Amino acid sequence: MLLRIPGQEDMVITDLVLDFNGTIAWDGKILPQVKERLEELSASITIHVLTADSNGSASIECESLPVKLQIIGKSNQREAKADFVSSLGSGVVAMGNGVNDELMFRRTDLSMAVIGKEGCATVTLLTSHIVVQDIADGLDLLLKHHRLIPTLRK
């Protein structure tokens, strides 16, 4: 996926990294507006879901989705998420809402803080490139990436 934002270098997006709880899921259940959007996005980019799986439901919830699930440990989550996105190289977009997403946001080409029902950690919000009210809005920005221009152009 090629993103052309005036005043910035072109971005070739190859990977999308998503936090699970509070971002694409609520109380361990995938939000209804997510599946169709992920299916459409998976035609052009690889989608990863990172989670500590606090509710123990991520494997079941993600099995029918076109995503690569990565369960991280309950400790050092900030570093684990940051190391994961670093291993992908360039072309990474990340979406999340928790404190454990802040370092990941610092290592991606484009980061979106999702406020959602859980809210968003202030440090993560301040590290993001874009803030959206819910995950559907963030995924739609990637599906219709011309909408990113007014927000990100310099």
What integer pLDDT is reported at residue 102 of this predicted model?
Answer: 96
d(CA 52, CA 7) in angstroms, rounded, equals 37
**Torsion over CA of 97, 111, 95 and 64, rounded to 10 degrees?**
-170
Q: What is the pTM of this model?
A: 0.95
Confidence of residue 73 (pLDDT cuts 50, 70, 90): confident
CA nearest neighbour of 97 among 46, 137, 59:
137
CB atoms within 10 A of CB 9: 9
What integer pLDDT is reported at residue 71 of this predicted model?
Answer: 94
Q: Which fold has domain 2-117+124-152?
A: Rossmann fold (3.40.50)
Confidence of residue 117 (pLDDT cuts 50, 70, 90): confident
For residues 119-144, give the mean pLDDT. Answer: 96
74: pLDDT strictly greater than 90: no
Helix, strand, coil % over all residues of the chain, rounded to 5: 35, 25, 40
What integer pLDDT is reported at residue 89 of this predicted model?
Answer: 95
- Domain residues of the chain, as ranges? 2-117+124-152
